[in-house]
Amino acid sequence: MSQKWDTCSYELKEAKPSRNFLLSGFKAMQKKRSSIETIPTDLINDADFLIIASPIWAGNGNPIINSFVDQADLDKKPVYLCTVQADPQCKTAPKVFGYLSKVIGSKGGMVKGSKAFHGASPGKTASRSDLEKQLAQWNIIQS
């Protein structure tokens, strides 16, 4: 993504990563939060807009994204959301976009667009070419 729009990227990291797949899915279902190692405040402040990308776990955004949208200063910041999920129809993406949009809006952020990507089954990795094809179809300027 960062190459397509000449942007920088930042991967959020949990302060205490969980290695338990089922527990992580359960936390996602409950819309729980996780501790973030570092929130890149300078990058957020300097950015013209943010693209927040999240895998969908158990039909929900993952706990670190929930924490990020709760804690980051998104006031007056344009935000674009994208999700990656195993379901080829991306059926749960609208629910995740709705939830994240509500939280971001409550923090003063403005969700300008969203895109759901089909990834791969749990435990598998989506091919770079498949994701690049889907990404090429997303023009965030027109979102």
pLDDT tens digit string along 91-124? 999 999 999 999 999 999 999 999 999 988 877 8
CATH of 21-142, one of 3.30.70.360, 3.65.10.10, 3.40.50.360, 2.40.50.140: 3.40.50.360
Alpha helices in 30-140 (DSSP H): 41-46, 63-71, 93-106, 128-136
Residue ranges, the chain, pLDDT below 50: 1-2
CA geometry: angle 26, 27, 32, nearest 5 deg = 150
Q: Which of 121, 118, 115 shows the shortest CA–CA distance to 137?
A: 115
pLDDT of residue 41: 87
